[in-house]
Structure 1
Amino acid sequence: MNHSKLSDHLFKKGKFITPFHTLPNVEEYTDDKSWTYGRMPEYLWIGLLFKFLGRDVGLKRLHFIMNLLHKIAPTLRTARMSEILKLSRNDQQQLYDYIVGIGAKKALSPLTVVLTVSYAPVFAETFYCSDESIEDRCNIITDTMKDLMDHQSHESTDVRFIALYFTLLSGNIHMQPDHVKILNTYPNSSHDDEVMRMARPFVRSMEQTILLTFETTNKDYLKDFWRCISEMTDCTLYSVSFPKEERDFTEYMEKLHKVFIYLSDLFTSAEPLSDKMNVLLGIATYSYKRLKEVYEHNLFNTISGRSCVRVIIEDYIMMKYLVANESKHDNIWRDFQFYGIGQYKLILTKHREAEKDDKRHFDVDYIEALVNEFKEEEFIDIDTRYFDKQNIRLKAESVDEKALFGLYYDYDSAFEHGLWGAIRETSLIKCMNPAHKYHCVPDIDDSIVLKSIMPDCIMAMNKTLTYLNEIYGIPEAMLNEVIHFELKPIDG
């Protein structure tokens, strides 16, 4: 499948709209009309017969079964199980006896865990096999569902062909001769035959179009089916675990520390009153401390570690933006400082008005000292907009870092804000049981191991140092030891 490019999407009112949703009169099917959740459960009985008889025999037997069903109920347009269960007791019994007569009783016996005596008495009485445990029957159902959940699998296409064939028996649908020819070749061809490359998508398209036109969804049957089969089977969990980061970064961190010692000494000895150097080194040191926390607390494979990547990249973009726009402001460095202090003032004011709580991690006295450090807070305005009225995306574009922003910042921001993509990746384990609709369960025991963020942290930190080198000059040997640090491949 070829995925659409971002440029193929329609951007409208801040939203990228998929090409599919721009097509006129085209809507997604609701779950009860989809193949996987709405139609497959109804035709599971056909899939079970295929599973038991095999494809070649199954196609022949089901040909006779569908013809018999049409003869028994000539007004029936669909072979949905919920519709078959509405037939009279005698009509149902006639169909079921035929299936038993061809030796396929055990094929449908698994369904008796769902179609019980109280729910479908004729079916249950006919197909129940006392020598099969509930677990065995559930296993057969889930194995069959695995084959059928994909609406384009060979198995599901075979089932859809049989369902389509039954609907065509009504004689109310007229098809072109070449379409009839394709359908006639289907049961006589192997899935390896070249003709099936055209026949399979044709069958799926016809089944979807014609059956959804004639069928009536039985939501109660679907609800009962999914409730019953999900309650009677256990989760089968599968988690993605990347190799744990066990490489030694001690040498890198030591060399990085030497660079920051040099920059700090340079500031205090050469330009101690420079707002520009104070801001740039302050930003870079903040990035360095975030990276150090990752290293010292082994946060390489953690959710918290992803915050570090985001911060270092945002800091790097901000540094470039401030330098690029220095000439457009009287003192962009002082503006940047008081913008941040203004944010602190806003928080401080709110805390003063709230109930006292010495246990919270916000210390009013300390923050008050910081806010009033260089200017009385009564003279500090609070700007709640983005600094310089541009968000980080626009800042990144203005300094030619659009690609860096797009590849990293948005992804790691999802972890900061607790967006569902990040929650799904980090905190929910996939259940591989089709009876549970492949749902997810909470990862309370940390089965998921995220991919290490350390290579990206090093990449972003090296960009920061390279940029600082352009402005202040770092001894070449000292810089090269950091940016040319050999990052060995991770084991596993």
Structure 2
Amino acid sequence: MEKSKLSDHTFKKGKFITPWNEMLSEVTRENSWFHGRLPEYFWIGLIIKFYGRKAGLMKCNAIFRILREEVPGLEAPRFSMILKLDISIQKGLFEAMLMIIDKKVFAPLTAIFTYTDYPIFSSEFQSSESVEERIECINSLLKEASDHQTHFSTDIRFMVLYFHLLSGKLQMPSASIEAILEYPHLSHEDEIMRSIRPRVRAAELILLELESFDAKYLDYFWEAVSKMSDCELYYIDLTESPPDSEIYISQVKTILEYYTSLLTSVSPLDNKMLVLLGITTYSYKRLLELVEHNLFHTISGRGITRVLIEDYIMMKYLLKHETSHSDIWTEYQYYGIGQYKLIFERYRQSGIERPSSHVSYEYMDMLVNEYKDKEFIDMDTSYFNKQNVRLKAKDVDEQDLFNYYYDYDSAFEHGLWGAIRESSLVKCNSPSHQYHCIPDIENNQKLKSVWDDCVGVMNKTLSVLEGIYGLPTHLVLGEE
């Protein structure tokens, strides 16, 4: 199936809806291929695996004929539906199946559907295979069929689709049906299969509208197989050689020393320069933390990258809108100090002392009063100048920084699940465990380094200062 682009999605009520979910009902976990449908059609996979593709598809077709004759009202070839049939019908079906396939084919399933709960099935297909052999077969097939787009998975999905086509429940254009019916007669190496396989998978998805899932059966299946093997944990280590960061940090510090000297000796009361240097120095100190504490591959490193981006965007925003404000630099300062006042006033009003807190409330209050009597400082709870970071990034032509970096790093700052999954969970490689995740309490999972991106944003920040105040040639980054 061709992957849809973002532009193919429909945007409704703040949500991007996939083309398939726009056309069909949303595919739930219970209806997903691996979790919801493969357990139902596992028996078809066993036949194809045991006899090979060509003979396996033929034997599946022969069994389908029996199902249609014995149970004409069968909704779908789901194993849960077969196991719900009357005992006498089940026995007749299984005996007829054994005229087509060897009992060894379904023997692995007796490790799941045991005699205690499913006596008819278990007694018909019990074999001399050990429990270990049956479990190995189940795990092997689960792994091979876990990806819904493999040749093997598509073979299983074709047989499911074929059952519905034979029953007449699924209506399709004759040209599409003719192409799909060529599927079992062609080799996967045939060029035409490149176009037929996606048709098969797309048509099989439509069946989700016609079939209902059995949650109890799925729970039973996965609980049984999950107990058959131990976790096989693996993690991704994306660490790289440590960057030569000390030289760069030293260069940035030298540049900031130059601008600080310029402020103190030439323009000590220049409010604009103070704000721009204050923002840049804050970015520098965050970058310094990254280096001194070796946070390149950490969650905290992503928070640092996010701050550097936001600082840079804010600098450009303030400069762009400087002429439309009487004093945007003072406004910006009072906006931030107002946030400090709000926090302190909440604390004061609560009447509860928090001496062990990392927040120094009394010092905050001193900082607020440093500017002017706090009774004359308002507290703005909205974003500065009523625009959030996304809008500010768009305003200053830095949408790429927001779209590709800031939004990603924000997921780590807010503890969104994508960030949690990437940084704090490791994968189990066992298909019988549904490739589930385990908390990374040993801290084995390492993220990609943020160093290059941090340097890139810091360079942009310094270039803003250079554009306004200039910089001696010997201090320009990269110059000797």
TM-score relative to the length of structure 2: 0.90
Can you give the 5+ residue segments of structure 1 that lack an aligned partner in the other structure? 486-492
Per-residue CA deviation, residues 20-54 of structure 1 (Å, 9 max, x unaligned), is 5555xx32233434443333211111111211221
The DSSP-based 3-state class of the residue aligned with 2:47 is: helix
Cα distance change, pair 37–81 in 1 and its aligned pair in 2 (3 A):
same
Equivalent position of 1:61 in the other structure: 59
The CA deviation at 1:183 is 5.2
Structure 2 residue aligned with 1:489: none
1:451 maps to which residue?
Answer: 448
Q: How far does the alpha carbon of each residue in 1:345-391 deviate from its partner, in whole angstroms, 9 at most, with x for none?
A: 11111222331121111112222221111312122111112112222
Q: Which amino acid aligns with 2:122?
A: A
Q: CA deviation at 1:137?
A: 2.2
CA deviations on 1:239-274 (whole Å, 9 max, x unpaired) are 222124412212111122111111111111111111
Change (3 A) 1:211 1:68: farther
2:357 counterpart letter in structure 1:
R
2:118 matched to 1:120? Answer: yes
The answer to whether 1:402 aligns with 2:419 is no
Where does 1:177-326 land on structure 2 (aligned, <5 Å)? 181-182=178-179, 184-209=181-206, 213=210, 215-326=211-322
Give the corresponding residue for 2:49: 51
Distance (Å, rounded) in 1 between the aligned partners of 2:160 and 2:6: 38
Aligned residue among 341, 345, 349 for 1:349? 345
Matches of 2:454 and 2:273, distance apart in 1: 23
In structure 2, C-alpha distance between the alignment counterparts of 1:388 and 1:160, rounded to whole Å: 56
Kept after mapping to 1: 8 A contact 2:63/2:100: no
User: Could you say which residue in structure 2 is the equivalent of 1:415?
Assistant: 412
TM-score normalized by the length of structure 1: 0.88
- How far the C-alpha of 1:176 sits from its partner, in A, is 7.0
Within 1, Cα distance between the matches of 2:172 and 2:287? 67
Give the 5 Å matches for 1:153-164.
153-164=150-161
Deviations along 1:399-447, one digit per CA (max 9) or x if unpaired, are 2222222222111111111122211211122233333333322111112
- Output the CA distance in 2 between the equivalents of 1:259 and 1:209: 63
User: 1:127-162, CA deviations, whole angstroms, 9 ceiling, x for partnerless residues?
Assistant: 2235412x4322321221223233332212222333
AA in 2 matched with 1:55: R
2:470 to 447, 469, 473: 473
Note closer, same or farther for the CA distance 1:151–1:373 as it changes in structure 2 (3 Å cut). same
Query: 1:78 and 2:76 equivalent?
Result: yes
CA displacement at 1:344 relative to structure 2: 0.5
Indicate conservation of the 8 Å contact 1:161/1:207, yes or no: yes
**What is the alpha-carbon distance in structure 2 between the residues aligned to residue 336 and residue 174 of structure 1?**
64
1:328 matched to 2:324 = yes
Partner SS, residue 426 of structure 2: strand
CA 212–302 in structure 1, closer or farther in 2 if over 3 Å, else same: same
Distance in structure 2 (CA, Å) of the matches to 1:89 and 1:13: 50
Stretch deviating more after TM superposition (266-275 or 88-97): 88-97
* In 2, Cα distance between equivalents of 1:107 and 1:13: 50
Q: Cα offset for 1:120?
A: 1.0
Asked if structure 1 preserves the Cα contact closer than 8 Å seen for 2:334 and 2:377, the reply is: yes
Contact 2:31 2:208 in 1 (8 A): no
Aligned-partner Cα distance in 2 for 1:393–1:173: 47
Contact 2:225 2:432 in 1 (8 A): yes
Q: 1:379 to 1:73 in 2, by over 3 A?
A: closer
Counterpart check, 1:364 vs 2:345: no
The question of 1:40 aligning with 2:41 is answered no
Task: Give the superposed CA RMSD.
Answer: 2.7
CA–CA distance in structure 1, aligned partners of residues 336 and 171 of structure 2: 72
- SS at structure 1 position matched to 2:442: coil
- Aligned-partner SS, 1:430: strand
Bigger mean CA deviation after superposition, 115-124 or 92-101: 92-101
Structure 1 residue 453: Cα displacement: 0.4
Letter paired with 1:324:
K
- Kindly state the Cα deviation for residue 209 of structure 1 after the two structures are TM-superposed: 4.1
Alpha-carbon distance in 1 for matches of 2:471, 2:122: 82
Matched, 1:137 2:131: no
Q: CA deviation at 1:86?
A: 3.3
CA distance in 1 between counterparts of 2:221 and 2:93 reads 22
Q: Give distance in 1, aligned partners of 2:177 and 2:373.
A: 86
C-alpha distance in structure 1 between counterparts of 2:326 and 2:180, whole Å:
77
Q: Is the 8 A contact 1:226 1:435 kept in 2?
A: yes
Paired amino acid for 2:442: D
Preserved contact between residue 52 and residue 104 of structure 1 (Cα < 8 Å):
no
**Compared with structure 1, are the counterparts of its residues 405 and 33 closer, same or farther at alpha carbon in structure 2 (3 Å cutoff)?**
closer
The corresponding residue for 1:490 is none
State which drifts further: 358-367 or 448-457. Answer: 358-367
Q: How does 1:82-101 map to 2 (within 5 A)?
A: 82-97=80-95, 99-100=97-98
**Mean alpha-carbon deviation: is it higher for 109-118 or for 144-153?**
144-153
Paired with 1:22 and 1:74, the residues of 2 have a C-alpha distance of 33
Q: Contact 1:342/1:383 (CA < 8 Å) preserved in 2?
A: yes
Work out whether residues 414 and 422 of structure 1, in 8 Å CA contact, stay in contact via their aligned partners in 2.
Answer: yes
Aligned residues: 479
Mark the CA change 1:276 to 1:223 in structure 2 (over 3 Å): closer, same or farther: same
Between the aligned residues of both structures, percent identity stands at 49
Provide closer, same or farther for how the CA distance between residues 206 and 276 of structure 1 changes in structure 2, counting only shifts above 3 A.
closer
- Letter in structure 2 aligned against 1:159: I
User: Displacement, 1:90?
Assistant: 4.6
Answer yes or no: is the 8 Å Cα contact 1:33–1:212 preserved in 2.
Answer: no
Cα 1:361–1:75 change in 2 (3 A) is closer
- Larger mean Cα displacement after TM superposition, 244-253 or 343-352: 244-253
In the alignment, the residues of structure 1 paired with residue 80 and residue 396 of structure 2 have an alpha-carbon distance, to the nearest angstrom, of: 62
Q: 1:293, CA displacement in angstroms?
A: 0.4
| 1:75–1:170 CA contact under 8 A, matched in 2 | no
* 1:96 Cα deviation from its structure 2 partner: 3.2
For residues 172 and 389 of structure 1, what CA distance do their matches in structure 2 show?
A: 56
